[in-house]
């Protein structure tokens, strides 16, 4: 049986980051979600992709953009961009300068949008998903 991922906890964590104009690395996010190996990365990825799908469907800024690599480049892993390509939200390479520029622009959109909506409880977001 297929189970729809519950993104409420994830969205609350990402929303807090967005409102503080901060970013979060994948490992820290996985820990905050309380996932333990094995498959902790897979569980985190599934939630992030569900969040990306929700945001694309609702035409919202990509809240998952606040999650970045801990080492390497200061933007999300290639899977973030690959998912956005599948959703028709982004067209381009999944790494490098073009991806970094797109991510920076999207991150600014996320920060602006969620600064304006600071007073919306996360419970209201779950109502939109149903």
Over residues 83-125, the pLDDT tens digits come to 999 999 999 999 999 999 999 999 999 999 999 876 554 555 5
Number of domains in the chain: 1
CB 18, CB 62: distance < 8 Å: no
88 secondary structure, DSSP code: T
Residue with tokens 């569900």: 50
- Residue at 3 is within a domain: no
**Structural domain span for residue 125:** 8-129
- Residue at 51 is within a domain: yes
- Residue at 91 is within a domain: yes
Q: What is the value of pTM for the model shown?
A: 0.84
pLDDT value, residue 121: 47
- Residue at 90 is within a domain: yes
- The CA distance from 47 to 4, in Å, is 9
- Residue at 1 is within a domain: no
CB 48, CB 87: distance < 8 Å: no
b/e sequence 8-20, b meaning 16+ C-beta within 10 Å:
eebbebbbebbee
């Amino acid at each position: 049986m297929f189970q729809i991922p519950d993104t409420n906890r994830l969205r609350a964590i990402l929303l807090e980051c967005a409102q503080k104009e901060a970013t979060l690395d994948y490992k820290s996010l996985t820990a905050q979600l309380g996932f333990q190996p094995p498959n902790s990365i897979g569980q985190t990825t599934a939630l992030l992709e569900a969040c990306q799908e929700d945001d694309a469907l609702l035409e919202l800024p990509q809240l998952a953009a606040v999650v970045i690599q801990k080492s390497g480049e200061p933007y999300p892993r290639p899977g973030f961009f690959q998912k956005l390509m599948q959703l028709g939200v982004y067209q381009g390479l999944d790494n490098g300068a073009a991806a970094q520029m797109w991510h920076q622009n999207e991150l600014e959109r996320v920060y602006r949008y969620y600064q304006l909506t600071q007073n919306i409880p996360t419970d209201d977001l779950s109502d939109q998903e149903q």
